Amino acid sequence: MSDRNLAFIYAPEIEALSYPPECPFKTARVGLTRSRLVSFGLLGLPDRAEVAPQKASLADLGKYHTARYLEELQRAAGGELTVDGLHMGFGGMDTPVFRDMFDYSAWACGAGLKAADLLLSGQADVAFNLLGGLHHAFADKAEGFCYLNDVVLACMRLADAGKRVACLDIDAHHGDGVQSAFYHRNDVLTISLHESGKTLFPWGGFENEIGVGAGAGYNVNLSLPADTYDAAFLTAFDRVPMPLLAAYQPDVIVLELGMDTLAGDPLTHLHMTNNVTADVVKRLLRLRRPILVCGGGGYNVENTVRGWALAWRTFGGEGEEDDFSIGMGGVMLASSEWAGGLRDRELAVTAERREAVEPALNANIEAVVRHVFPYHGLAPQPPLTPAQTYS
C-alpha cells in the first residue's frame, strides 16, 4: 500500500442508464470494475474511498457546450430529433438517439467535475472517473459515442483554478474533441497517443497538428501504427510524453485511460496487453502530481474491467507479490483473454509485426520531436538505433 488517497467516483443512478443494446459502448463496465475492486478488498477503505458525484447542471455543461446544443441534446433524448439535431451529429451509427443519452453524459460530466474538485481540495491524490472519457464530443457536435465532454470540463475546472494542466490521452482513438477545445491555449497541454488516423476513426490526430497561436506546441499527437505492441508503445511513451511532461511541469495530470488499445478489442487494431497500463501508471507516479483518471474506450468488456482494476491497484501501490489470480481458478487461454487475475499474459511479437510497426512509429516519434520539442526548450534527440528500440 502507499500513502496516496484514491477516490473512485461512482453514482448508483447510472446503473439504470445504458446505451442501446446493439451499441458497443457498455456503461456496465464501470459497475463491474467497482465490483471487482470490492471483491479484491481494494475499495471502501479510508484511503480507497468511493465518492458519489452529482449530475452536472446545465450551467456546468454550458462552460463548454453551447446552449443550443444542450437544448437539442435534451430534445433528442425526449424522442424529438430535429434537423438541427441531425446536423449536430445525433442519429449517426456511433451517436444513436436514445432515452438516456443526456442523463448518462451529464452524470459522467458531474463525476469528472467532482474528481477535479477532490484533487483541488487535496482530498484525493488520484481520482477515477471511469464513467467519463467522452473525448470526442465537441462544443456543439456529438461524435464517437460521446455527447458531452467530461474531459474538457474537468480540464477547464482545473485550469480555471489556476492550475497548469496536462491532459494525456492513451485511448486507441484520437481525442479530437479535447484537441479542439484547447487548440489555441497553452494552460492545458494535450498529448494524445492513439492508433493512426490512417486506419481508425476519427481519421486525424497527425503529428503536424500542434496547436495555433498561443497553443502552438501545446497540442501533441503521436500516431501508433496498427499492430503496435507493448514494447513499442513504451518506447514511444518514454520518447514523447515523459520529456514533455518533465518540461511542462504540470500541476495536475488528466489521464484518459481507454482500454481499446488491448489486443482483442473489436473496434481497434493494436496488439497491446494491460501490462502497459501498469507500466504507464508507474511512470506517471514518479512525477508526484495529482492525477484524474478518465475511462474512455474499451469494447471487450472483461478486458476493460480487468485493465481498469489493474490501474487502480497500481495507483494504490499494491505490490506485484499480490497475485489476485491465486485461489480464483485463473486459467490462461490461448487468446487475449484469461480467466482470473488482473494482468494479461505477455503476447509474442513476430518479426513481421516488428517490421510493420517499428519504422513507421520511429518516423512519427521523430516528427513530434521536430515539430513540438523546440517549443518546450527540449534539445533534439538523435534517432534511435535498432539496438535501442522496442526491446
- Residues with catalytic roles: 136
By residue count, the chain amounts to 391
Q: Are 271 and 228 in contact (CB under 8 A)?
A: yes
Torsion angle in degrees (nearest 10) through CA of 245, 249, 251, 255: 0
Other C-beta atoms within 10 Å of 291: how many? 25
> Of the candidates 197, 232, 200, which has an alpha carbon nearest to the alpha carbon of residue 354?
232
Distance CA 293, CA 283 (A): 14
Q: Which burial class, exposed, middle or buried, applies to 46 when counting CB atoms under 10 A from its CB (0-12, 13-18, 19+)?
A: exposed
CA separation for the pair 136, 258 (Å, rounded): 13
